[in-house]
Amino acid sequence: MNSLKFLLPTKRELAGFVRGCRATCFSFFHSSPETSIEVHSHEQEVVIALGSNVGDRIHNFNEALQLMKKSGINITRHGCLYETEPAYVTDQPHFLNSAVRGVTKLGPHELLRVLKKIEKDMGRTDGIRYGPRPLDLDVLFYGKFSIHSDILTVPHERIWERPFVLAPLLDLMGSAVDSDTVACWHSFPKQSIGIFETWEKLGGESLIGKEGMKRVLPVRNRLWDWSQKTSVMGILNLTPDSFSDGGKFQSVETAVSQVRLMISEGADMIDIGAQSTRPMATRISDEEELERLIPVLEAVLRMPEMEEKLISVDTFYSKVASEAVSKGAHIINDVSAGQMDPDMYTVVSGLKVPYVAMHMRGDPSTMQNDENLQYDDVCGQVASELYSRVRDAELAGIPAWRIIIDPGIGFSKKTEHNLDILLGLSTIRKDLASKSFAASHAPILIGPSRKRFLGEICKRSSAVERDPATIASTTAGVLGGANIVRVHNVRDNLDAVKVCDSMLKRRKPIA
């Protein structure tokens, strides 16, 4: 399904923004770089495209972001990450492409000099035009200015013909135009149609997922295209008090045995948790959590069966996250989305691993109180609150291309809220897209497995009796757009996922 068809604003809606902005948009510079046209009076909002197809492409992007920050470019948003076939010169490796949005006091030509220096520092040399390069940085937009000089043209003249530039550029925006500067970008005077319409004319979302252009997430030294199939995350609780299987897997031997079973049944990843987050659970310290976690984590990592699998660690402590990744964990799964440890975003930014940001109000001891259960529109409010968490994570340096979102089924939700979320994942994506297309494109993880609301509906007081209800909720979630399902019973849920994936492949796109 072409999701952008219903996410993009209509031509009439966008025209209202553009008409109100045309008079102030795009002051023109026609000059040489020696001419004094630099803008130092206040910060300008800029968009910079990134590309790389030589060496460790993800490392190149990470280094470029750090060097931009040190050079006076404050990055506020990141696009998704795209692996694309080379254009123009086709006999070369595939590129990674993305874009960032930020603010800077650097003037336009000063900004260009900074970016060219970063390219050189990263090993770029003069070579074939459009040929291989470790790093390519281009200024797409600079405030409301149109710049024409011997060495710089802004807006970048080839934005409109390149899907690999337009896709991450759109990611930095939302369907609701959030400022007059963004409205100016849409009203670029040489274009008869706007950015959204140009993207649709090139093929839009139908371009993504094909051989020539994939939206990917970097994990474990590989690029994961999560659109190919729904991933199954098996749950391993090392706690004595978890609601479903507390106390069963506290020894290293029983934990390893359970992981081996889940892998044999088809799990793609294992989520290890050493702290219970059930309602009213007693919080333990990060040190006690590590004492439970590390011996099991090390043993699981030694298992031959885990060679191609991913390990996620379920924690809200930054110290646990840091230690777990240093031992070899691949993903951090934070039920609080950074709200229970003020250092979490900064630490995860440095760890450079995928980060699951889950929606929850309060903490496990307060999440089910009356105040935290008040919603007027649960899908809209979950989307809004998740976007706030994603925005804060990005400002702390976690790129959107590393973020996975989880609407938090069972956390600060009543039964009806959980059902509305399972039915409304597309609504959550749409509401996220109003503010950030990058956030709306993030993989969605759902975790309804054996939750209390299923027991209330089916009159099953024992958690282990809720597997059939879990399969039903997993099915609804996958058909609604979930990309990862977190479950206790891997075998039966994997069968449900396979059927759902087969059905989705048969679904005909909406014209």
With residues binned 3-state (H G I as helix, E B as strand, rest as coil), the percentages for the chain, rounded to 5, are 40, 20, 40
Report, as residue numbers or ranges, the catalytic residues.
451, 486
Task: Give the three-class secondary structure for 147.
Answer: strand
- The pairing of strands 136-142 and 403-406 is unpaired
For residue 156, which phi and psi values (nearest 5 degrees)?
-55, 130
Looking up tokens 């909406």 gives 510
Helix locations, 90-173, DSSP H: 108-121, 163-171
Written in H, E and C, the secondary structure of 302-326 is CCHHHCCCEEEEECCCHHHHHHHHH
Residues 75, 97: Cα–Cα separation, whole Å: 16
Burial of 464 (0-12, 13-18, 19+ CB in 10 A): exposed
What is the distance between the alpha carbons of residues 328 and 324, in angstroms, rounded to a whole number?
Answer: 6
Q: Which two tokens stand for residue 352?
A: 């450079």
DSSP, collapsed to helix, strand or coil, labels residue 49 as: strand
Which helix (H) or strand (E) segment holds residue 421: the answer is helix 415-423
Cα–chain-centroid distance for residue 173?
A: 14
State both tokens at 78: 């990141």
490 vs 330, 466, 481, CA distance in Å? 20, 13, 19
Q: Residue 98: in which H helix or E strand, if any?
A: strand 95-104
Give the separation between CA 118 and CA 122, rounded to whole angstroms.
Answer: 6
